[in-house]
Chain A
Amino acid sequence: EPEVTQTPSHQVTQMGQEVILRCVPISNHLYFYWYRQILGQKVEFLVSFYNNEISEKSEIFDDQFSVERPDGSNFTLKIRSTKLEDSAMYFCASINLAGVAGELFFGEGSRLTVL
């Protein structure tokens, strides 16, 4: 069964360092998302990406964040200068329709710990 894969599964970094989280969405999917979940809190929307550009972003997704689809398979989330409050699980998700209907398929997540 096709699945969304994410790397790394866990990353520990120092405050102020740059982090790149990687995702390989399901191959025929068109819309890509990043969500995050701070320990014990809700799963929160960060950004959606379609046709090689951001289609929507949340207030959390400030100038420290960026997304990219560098090739036909990978989808990355970059945090330029990490803060303590960026510590969370980051989930990549994808959907095969243009955001109109259907379920999002989530990866297993990347746990980011900022010290």
Chain B
Amino acid sequence: EDQVTQSPEALRLQEGESSSLNCSYTVSGLRGLFWYRQDPGKGPEFLFTLYSAGEEKEKERLKATLTKKESFLHITAPKPEDSATYLCAVRGNTGKLIFGQGTTLQVKP
């Protein structure tokens, strides 16, 4: 059964304090690992797709990496506007996305 586990559940950082979010997964035939950002009461907003181990993608202060068993979302020098819930999801052979429970990030000024 395809499964995604994210850690930590919640993370509090001071502005400028870099950290990483973890996403561990098991999937039959990985067809992509996805990172989304979700603000309260809103829909998931696409950030990155990673397809193979060793792949990395960057966008502003965010960098996503992928291994055969997990993905990391690195946040460098975060700002308060980076506060949100970050969702990891995988697509396997069935085509649907399976989401983790998310990491809620709070960045304090």
List residues of A (90-109) whose CB comes within 8 Å of B's CBs.
91, 99-109
Q: How many A-B residue pairs have CB under 8 A?
A: 55
Question: When the two chains form their complex, are residues A103 and B96 in contact, meaning their CB atoms are under 8 A apart?
Answer: no
Chain B proximity of A6: nearest CB distance (Å): 8
Instruction: Judge if B99 is at the interface, Cβ distance under 8 Å.
Output: yes
List residues of B (38-53) whose CB comes within 8 Å of A's CBs.
41-46, 49, 51
A48-B96, A56-B94 known; A42 vs B101 contact (CB < 8 Å)? yes
A42-B100, A42-B101, A43-B87 known; A100 vs B43 contact (CB < 8 Å)? no
Interface size on B, residues (CB 8 A): 23
Q: Which residues of A contact B44 (CB under 8 A)?
A: 43, 91, 106
Q: In the complex, what distance in Å separates the CA atom of A86 from the CA atom of B47?
A: 29
A-B contact pairs, 9 of them (CB 8 A): A31-B95, A43-B44, A43-B87, A45-B97, A89-B41, A99-B95, A103-B46, A104-B97, A106-B46
Interface residues of A (CB under 8 A from B): 4, 31, 33, 35, 41-45, 48, 55-56, 89, 91, 99-109, 111
